Amino acid sequence: MEHKALFLDRDGVINHDPGDYTVSLEEFIILPTVIEALQLARSKGYLIFVITNQGGIAKGLYTHETVHEIHNFLLRTCQEAGVEINHIFYSPHHPEFGNSLTRKPERLLMERAIARYRIDPTQSVMIGDRERDIQCAAQVGVKGILIPANSALIDAVETLA
């Protein structure tokens, strides 16, 4: 059986995007409707994935360890609210330091999720706050929904079947 999935960008969709980089756990502030939106998506039968570019690693602004600390906090917070994020995929690359097929708008991270978790792209959705999120989704046949940065995720999730 193939599953339907909700793919989410991180900065600006799940947490407040300060406009440059979220460089520490102290700067990682989950947006107000995110937990409720994830609970709703789960109740609609979606697996949940985060697909995020973390080019600040390539730029030396923060480390893989910092990203893991932030992601572990996010996973714990969600788990405490009774909702599971199936997997968080991130790309540590930045175009100023070389190209990578993992960095959105490229599709490798979404392809990994689709293959590993037996996802049906035609039933799945990507919600992001940048055009590259939507371009990435389109490359694998997933519908994209573009939302304003730091807006209420629940508004977009309520529209899902």
Active site residue ranges: 9, 11
**Exposed e or buried b per residue across 72-105, where buried means at least 16 C-beta atoms within 10 angstroms of its C-beta:** eebeeebeeeebebbbbbbbbbbeeeeebebbbe
Q: Of 48, 138, 30, 53, which Cα lies nearest the Cα of 86?
A: 48
